Amino acid sequence: MTVTREFVAPAESAGERLDVFLARQMPDWSRSQIQRLIRQGLVTVDAAPARKAGEVVEQGAHIEVQAERQEMRATPEDLPLDVVYEDANLLVVNKAAGMVVHVGAGVKSGTLVNALLHHVRTLSGAGGEFRPGIVHRLDKMTSGLVIVAKTDAAHRRLSQQFKSREVHKTYVALVHGRVESQSGQMTQPVGRDPVRRTRMKAGGIAARDALTRYRVVRRFPHFTLVEAEPQTGRTHQIRVHWASAGHPVVGDLTYGAPAKLRVGGREEATLPRTFLHAAKLAFAHPLTGEALTFVAPLPAELAEFLQRIEGYDH
């Protein structure tokens, strides 16, 4: 039986190849199978047949796939969930580091989506069976605020706000080294790393414009605490920008942060997560237009790390 799979491309997928994007959304399909579907005209982007497997996905694009088999669905799981706000249309959740946002290749359970389905049962279907309700996402080892849509109408309007850059996000990050400027911006385009395809890179494959504004909150002898506001939504954007500036985020071994730190005159392992936290979200309610702002305090493990280096970083 032919079934229709529908996806709305999130900000972090903008600039990806269409077949790469779909392979992540449909992990039980191989990339070659997806390419065949595209050649057969069974994939549409914004209601027009996809031209080729390598065409670039744009943020907010509506993608439909006509497939011949049913795929697995995310299932409810009773997992801890920190709900910051909830109404009939949406939730705002404070995600813990270590939790993957949605089911995908090699990840069948333990995700934010699994927890959400247990909590609310019904979420927007606009993101597809693997991503119900998910308008945007955070990396596994990044903590903080995530918006979740309960209805398709809320999902569409929130996606449009992301596409129009009307959602304001503030992250707190601790980076290696001393950032000299009190404030500034980083503008390197971000694309796929040609060697390590799970990574992104400044100026990588199909690089797209990226802008991150920042301000220094506090300086330590070997670290700098910053607030970063991404104005675009490229995958791993903040992590890539700081790494390319020579100041990788603490704990981010993927982008060059050291595995060992000198704290209090002794060497010890770095944080088991990235020191990156989505601390603030501001957006308009998708149905009422009311201005909403939410703040999530720094998780205990990050606050404790700051206390540790405050007295002993030398």
Residue numbers annotated as active site: 139
Burial of 10 from C-beta contacts in 10 A (0-12 / 13-18 / 19+):
buried
DSSP secondary structure letters along 40-74? TT-EEETTEE---TTPBP-TT-EEEEEESSPPP--
Which residues are 208's β-sheet partners? Answer: 190
Distance in angstroms (rounded) separating the CA atoms of residues 137 and 194: 23
Pairing mode, strands 168-176 and 183-186: unpaired
Which residues are 3's β-sheet partners? Answer: 67
Distance in angstroms (rounded) separating the CA atoms of residues 279 and 296: 5
Distance in angstroms (rounded) separating the CA atoms of residues 241 and 173: 12
Distance in angstroms (rounded) separating the CA atoms of residues 99 and 60: 24
Residues in the chain, overall count: 314
Distance in angstroms (rounded) separating the CA atoms of residues 296 and 310: 22
Distance in angstroms (rounded) separating the CA atoms of residues 159 and 136: 8
Distance in angstroms (rounded) separating the CA atoms of residues 93 and 218: 27
Distance in angstroms (rounded) separating the CA atoms of residues 314 and 312: 6
Q: How many C-beta atoms lie closer than 10 Å to residue 145's C-beta?
A: 24
Which residues are 186's β-sheet partners? Answer: 212
For the chain, give me the number of helices (H) and strands (E)?
6, 18
